[in-house]
Amino acid sequence: MESEPQFFDQPGGYVGKPLVRVEGREKVTGKAKYSAEFPLPGLTYGVLATSPIAKGKIQSIETAAAAREPGVIAVLTHQNLPKLAKTPNDPQGKKDIGAPMGFLPLTGDEIFYAAQPVALVVADTLEHATHAARLVKVTYQKGDPIANFKQPKAELFDPEKVQDGKQKGHTKRGDAQAAFASAPIQLTATYNHPVYNHNPMEPGSTTAHWEAPDRLTIYESTQGVTRTQSAVAAMTGLPREQVRVITKYLGGGFGCKGATWPHTVLTVQAAKAVGRPVKLMLTREQMFTSMGHREDQEQIMKMGATADGKITSLVHTKKSTTSPWDNYAEPNSKIVDLLYASPTFESSYELARANVMTSTFMRAPGEAPGSFAIECSMDDLAYRVGVDPIEIRLRNYADHDYGTGQQWSSKSLKQCYARGAELFGWSKRNPKAGATRDGRYLVGMGMASASYPVHNSSGTARARLYADGHAVVQAGATDLGTGTYTVMTQVAADSLGLPIEKVRFELGDTQLPTAPNSGGSVAAGTVSSSIFLACQDVWQKLIKAAVIDKKSPLYRAKPEDVAVEKGRLFLKKDPKKGEAFGDLMKRGEMTDVEGMAQGKYGSGYEDASAAKNADPTQKDQAGQHSMHSFGAHFCEVRVDMDLGTIRVSKWVSVIGAGRILNAQTARSQIIGGAIFGIGSALMEETIRDEHFSRYTNADLAGYHVPVNADIPDMTVEFVEEHDPYINAMGVKGIGEIAMVGVAAAVANAVYHATGKRLRDLPLTPDKVLMAGLNS
């Protein structure tokens, strides 16, 4: 029998400490290589020419002028691009390649969206390719595009009637309509979100290198090398292992790099066509139409409650815009269902096709917009009943997950409310809206709850411990820039009992053990658990070697009686009896020992035994617990009623997310997420022209994101939380929760300041000035 793996909480350990980034020096000295920075011999440059129209047909393409320009190697169009084994344009291909790529351009003459690629020019320099791409002459037969779901010509449909029903957006618990009709308090409100774009600092890029006719290496800006590998393998027809994907550093993703997009495949085809490596980097403008966006959407939130503010009914509906070929909709309703103890619930959603690039997941997909609807409505309820916004949430506190009926694996939301209120100074808040002034500013305080699920995920890691006391630990994970390199090095060092400088963690390569996408907030929990368990595997192997080694003090001990701490193997009952791993290995002439293990969602030690007896056909085998992070945001705003400007002047976020791996990178991540949310609340918006279905502000001058001057000092705290169910490390992940509830906290603060309830994001000055009182 193997000895039980243990949580480690060694005094003096690295996990949890605010260590600086292990890759920080590489980054600030410019040595860190991002995906577009791999110089290959014979490298060429690809530039896309794109369609100005959003709907129609290509009548003719004239490429000769472009091809004649200096340095041009090829001008590729749908007429001469090498064929793929599979494209997403047919249903089976779409299934094999994986969402969201439901359409690949340069496969025919039809135009479905504005800025759809129509040609790819390859040249010896970026400048030559850029110049020549402008000379590609295309004539179009123009159609009449649809720009969004609100237009009269747009047709709303229920995607679950036409598809596989996987999105589970339609839910019914009890009779929510009847409960609403008979509720003493009835609130109905409509919430609008514009299109948002992720706008990571580093644009999407691909460098494709065919090293042999059947062997391909891609340097890709992606949140998941494995996913890119499987999609490209499906399209090229190569076996997976002959497609290698490398992503050493990423300059942000926020969801837009979570899947494989057309520019990647087109670059692969172009490299095949010219017989040389091709690098293609999207321009900032192309980032608005090449890697998805958050869909424009409308939510209607109906809330029924008793006179003292206990929710009796929630009815949530949503409409949004999708592309001509895709049925993706953010799953908004889940968070509406799970945050509060409503005995009844109903949700549904509809989509309309428009001439747009498809939408995709964006940081906290579903939870971010869903929380805006439920958390503003909760604020409305608080004012209607005449109680404090925290009190109304406590009256409706969900002591279990009403959506699934499960118990929570852990939930620290009450602590988040209490600690947040204390840090923020909530008790000083005047309960009356529109009643606090500071000079020319109206001052408001608002708050909102946050929650994000621990998504189902698994992945593997390898740990190799050398006899001389250093180690290399590997997982094919991605570091979005948030600290994966650092936290995994900490976990490995503690798991192996080594000084941190003796451990190197490698990631971002499909030749390493398969790790999940860095998406859905799963990477920290899954990868850290796989590393912890891989290191346990190393110890198990060494323990087995010790007990059969006649010269070891542990000879003939039972493996389960042996423990390891800080690199020393010893008898649990007689800790003096033992030896350092290095001595054991040198004596046995073992250069190194390698361990490998899988980290899994729902296989924390409590649930692991339950899972053994569970029905394996059940999707969630661990199954007894609903696993979520929770948190609370507190916001103070100053509103200038002459100019309509809103300034966030104070911010507090308190989060309960299980074990926190690094106090400093975690704090940075929460700050980053909250700023992302403040951007969505106050300034971010991609504007799509109603007539042409083109974006009118596709650059960072027109798409405003917060800068330092927009953001006050922010206070972030984590509630100490031990969750024995979620995974081996007890880590829930914090990539997305910080963004959830942020827009509502801001809007609630604006209401408290002004008495104006704004429900159409972003809350720009025009809306502040135009809003009717108490609308």
Q: Which residues are catalytically annotated?
A: 736
Residue (149 or 452) nearer to ligand MOS, CB: 452
- Residue whose C-beta lies closest to ligand MOS: 255
Q: Residue 481 contacts by C-beta under 8 Å, 6 or more apart in sequence?
A: 249, 250, 251, 252
- Is residue 665 within the footprint of ligand MOS (CB under 6 A)? no
- If binding is defined by CB under 6 A, does position 255 make contact with ligand MOS? yes
Name which position in 45, 103, 210, 361 contacts ligand MOS (CB under 6 A): 361
Q: Which of 56, 105, 117, 519 binds ligand MOS (CB under 6 A)?
A: 519
- Tokens 């249903």 locate to 91
**Residue 733 in the binding site for ligand MOS (CB under 6 A):** no
Nearest partner of 628 among 371, 418, 348, 392, judged by Cα: 371
> Least distance to ligand MOS from the beta carbon of 747, Å?
22
From the CB of 361, what's the least distance to ligand MOS, in Å? 4
Task: Return the residue of 365, 444, 497, 656 that touches ligand MOS, per CB under 6 A.
Answer: 365
The total of other beta-carbon atoms located within 10 Å of residue 28's CB is 10
CA distance 11 to 30: 35
HSE at residue 733, side-chain half, CA atoms within 13 A, is: 29
* φ/ψ of residue 660, rounded to 5: -100, 125
The only residue of 363, 411, 732, 759 in contact with ligand MOS, by rule CB under 6 A: 363
Query: Could you tell me the two tokens for 717?
Result: 């705290």
As a whole number of angstroms, the distance between CA 566 and CA 688 comes to 58
- What is the spatial distance between Cα 592 and Cα 473, in angstroms, rounded to a whole number? 12
Of the candidate residues 88, 520, 595, 706, the single one contacting ligand MOS (CB under 6 A): 520
Integer angstrom CA distances of residue 548 from 312, 541, 559, 577, 765: 66, 11, 10, 15, 75
For position 441 contacting ligand MOS by CB under 6 A, the verdict is no
Give the position of tokens 């929770």.
630
Instruction: Give SS3 for 436.
Output: coil
The interface region with ligand MOS, picked from 250-258, 412-420, 648-656, 745-753 by CB under 6 A, is: 250-258
Taking CB under 6 A as the criterion, which residues in 256-285 touch ligand MOS? 258
Q: Compute the least distance from the CB of residue 530 to ligand MOS, in Å.
A: 19
Length of the chain: 775
- Output the smallest distance, CB 649 to ligand MOS, in A: 29
The residues with which 210 forms a beta bridge, in sequence order, are 216
223 vs 451, beta carbon nearer ligand MOS: 223
Which residue from 87, 223, 236, 457 is in contact with ligand MOS, where contact means CB under 6 A?
Answer: 223
Strand residues in 428-571 grouped as ranges (E): 437-438, 441-453, 458-466, 471-474, 503-506, 562-565, 568-571
Q: Among residues 467 and 742, whose Cβ is nearest to ligand MOS?
A: 742
Tell whether residue 332 is a contact of ligand MOS (CB under 6 A).
no
Phi, psi dihedral angles at 24 (to 5 degrees): -60, -45
Q: Which residues face 304 on adjacent strands?
A: 186, 313
How many Å apart are CA 436 and CA 639, to the nearest integer?
Answer: 11
Nearer to ligand MOS, 522 or 652 (CB): 522
Number of residues that bind ligand MOS (CB under 6 A): 10
In the set 115, 120, 133, 362, which binds ligand MOS (CB under 6 A)?
A: 362
**Which H helix or E strand runs over 542?**
helix 523-547
Question: Please, which residue, 180 or 372, has the CB nearer to ligand MOS?
Answer: 372
Closer CB to ligand MOS, residue 16 or residue 520? Answer: 520
To the nearest whole angstrom, how small is the minimum distance from the Cβ of residue 676 to ligand MOS? 11
Smallest gap from residue 156 Cβ to ligand MOS (A):
25
Q: Which residues have CB under 8 Å from 510's CB, separation 6+? A: 225, 226, 229, 243, 244, 245, 246, 476
| Joined tokens for residue 3 | 């000895």
Shortest CB 258 distance to ligand MOS, Å? 4
Least distance CB 289 / ligand MOS (angstroms) = 18
Whole-number Å distance between alpha carbons of 590 and 581? 10
Cβ proximity to ligand MOS, 328 vs 345, nearer residue? 328
Query: Is residue 399 classed exposed, middle or buried when 0-12, 13-18 and 19+ CB atoms within 10 A define those classes?
Result: exposed
Nearer to ligand MOS, 55 or 293 (CB): 293
**For the chain, how far is it from start to end, CA to CA, in angstroms?**
67
Q: Which is nearer to ligand MOS, 444 or 677 (CB)?
A: 677
Q: How far is the CB of 221 from ligand MOS (least distance, A)?
A: 13
Of 297, 22, 362, nearest in space to 149 by CA: 297
Considering beta carbons, is residue 454 or 467 the nearer one to ligand MOS? 454
Stretch that binds ligand MOS, among 362-370, 535-543, 582-590, 645-653 (CB under 6 A): 362-370
Q: Alpha-carbon distance 490 to 10, whole Å? A: 12
How far apart (Å, rounded) are the C-alpha atoms in residues 335 and 273? Answer: 47
Q: How far is the CB of 734 from ligand MOS (least distance, A)?
A: 12
Quick one: 263 or 393, whose CB is closer to ligand MOS?
263
Tell me the window of 10-18, 124-132, 312-320, 355-363 that interacts with ligand MOS (CB under 6 A). Answer: 355-363
**354 in Cβ contact with 321 (< 8 Å):** yes
Q: How many CB atoms lie within 10 A of CB 232?
A: 25
- Of the listed pieces 167-175, 312-320, 358-366, 543-551, which binds ligand MOS according to CB under 6 A? 358-366
How far CA 304 is from CA of 384, 402, 522, in Å, comes to: 12, 16, 35
Q: Which residue in 706, 713, 656 sits closest to 681, CA to CA?
A: 706
The distance of closest approach from Cβ of residue 11 to ligand MOS in the complex, given in angstroms and rounded to an integer, is 35
**Contact 218/207 with Cβ under 8 angstroms?**
yes
Q: Which is nearer to ligand MOS, 189 or 705 (CB)?
A: 705
Q: Mind spelling out the 3-state secondary structure of 128-183?
A: HHHHHHCCCEEEEEECCCCCCCCCCCCCEECHHHHCCCCCCCCEEECCHHHHHHCC
Q: For tokens 């692969």, what's the residue?
A: 268
> Among 266-274, 356-364, 554-562, 693-701, which window interacts with ligand MOS (CB under 6 A)?
356-364
Residue 223 or 342 having the CB closest to ligand MOS: 223
Cα 406 from Cα 414, distance rounded (Å): 19
- Biggest CA–CA distance in the chain, Å, is 85
CA 554 to CA 273: how far, in whole Å? 62
Question: How many Å apart are CA 521 and CA 528, to the nearest integer?
Answer: 13
The binding site for ligand MOS (CB under 6 A) comprises 223, 253, 255, 258, 361-363, 365, 519-520
